[in-house]
Amino acid sequence: MEDIAYLASAYAVMIGLIGWFTWQLLDRLNDVTARMDAVESSLSNPTDSEE
Amino acid sequence: MLVGLLIAGSALVLGFLVAPDAKGFEGDSYRIIFWHVPAAWTSFLTFGMLFVGSLAWFWKRSEWGWILAGVAAELSLLYGLMVVTSGPIWGAAEWGTPWDWTDTRLNTYAVLSAIALFLVLSRRSQPDTPEYRDVFCGIGLFGFLLVPLTYMATRWWQERHPGPVIGGGEDGGVDAVILQIWLLAFIGMVILMIGQAMVSWEVQKSEQRLAELQLRLD
């Protein structure tokens, strides 16, 4: 394998890891925020959640 | 996070355009070190955070300690993976083999990353009980013990991994330009890591609050 190919693959992996980690972090933040809003609204309007 | 990424990215560009060839290494593959080394330094910081969080949980049964330990485990896994994936690629180019099972530095660092992987996976799969928290933080404390051992490994038992460049005595040392680029990349990664830690903290705090709210609903 060419020297430059090793270099490119190492940086592709490292950039990919940072991108994947940050994306899943923001995805989890959006998910938990939406679930919090849903639970809080059902707690403040208990009759709505019972219907 | 974006600021940190931009700074680390600038260091990378400087590593390609400005940094001289390194003594004792052939070709351009050595330029992997411009992120490999700062990622390793950043991972030592995150393992330090894991130690502080785990200690706070054991000592004071502190909620923030528990959240900090969880945040630090995730970040340790990220920066650990960056190191254990880029290292073997450089090893394949420079040594002709991606791994040397007789090299203590490689093996202790791999164990360190495996501990972070175990902590992250177990935290997502196990129920949150005081007993589980004790086990998690016990392993976190043990993991931190490997940090000084990993750091000193190239001084005590150097096999293949290059020797220390900072505080490495007369045989150590590195070109001043390379060192400056490393420090710039390290600053960038620390800023990126702090941004990621803040988001991760918010996620883990919200997940705990959500679990409490769901208990109330049940």
> Using CA atoms, how far apart are residues B32 and B21, in angstroms rounded to an integer?
12
Residue of chain B minimizing CA distance to A24: B200
Selected residue with higher pLDDT from B203 and A42: B203
Q: How far is B73 from chain A (nearest CA, A)?
A: 13
The answer to whether ipTM exceeds 0.85 is yes
Query: How many beta-carbon pairs under 8 angstroms link A with B?
Result: 84
What is the pLDDT, as a whole number, of residue B40? 94
> Using CA atoms, how far apart are residues A17 and A20, in angstroms rounded to an integer?
5
Query: Which DSSP category does B29 fall into?
Result: G
Tokens of B41: 């330094």
Contacts of B71 (CB under 8 A, 6+ apart): B49, B53, B197, B200, B201, B204
Backbone angles phi, psi at A45, to 5 degrees: -125, 70
Are A23 and B197 in contact by the 8 Å Cβ rule? The answer is: no
What is the pLDDT, as a whole number, of residue B133? 95
* Contact call for A10 and B5, based on CB within 8 A: no
pLDDT digits (tens, 9 = 90+) for B96-137: 888 888 888 888 999 999 999 999 999 999 988 999 999 999
For an interface test with A, give the residue of B206, B212, B214, B216 to mutate (most A CBs within 10 A). B206
Residue A51 clears pLDDT 50, i.e. is over it? no
User: Does residue A34 belong to the interface with chain B, where contact is any CB pair within 8 Å?
Assistant: no
* Cβ atoms within 10 Å of B205's Cβ, excluding its own: 16
* Contact call for A32 and B28, based on CB within 8 A: no
> Using CA atoms, how far apart are residues B91 and A4, in angstroms rounded to an integer?
14
What is the pLDDT, as a whole number, of residue B167? 54
Residue A50 clears pLDDT 90, i.e. is over it? no
Digitized pLDDT (tens) for each residue of chain B, 218 residues in all: 889 989 999 988 998 888 887 766 777 888 999 999 999 999 999 999 999 999 999 999 999 999 999 999 999 999 999 999 999 999 888 888 888 888 888 889 999 999 999 999 999 999 889 999 999 999 999 888 888 888 877 777 766 677 666 555 555 567 888 899 999 999 999 999 999 999 999 999 998 888 888 777 77
Q: How far is A36 from chain B (nearest CA, A)?
A: 6
* Cβ atoms within 10 Å of B206's Cβ, excluding its own: 17
Residue of chain B minimizing CA distance to A30: B203
Are B125 and B116 in contact by the 8 Å Cβ rule? The answer is: no
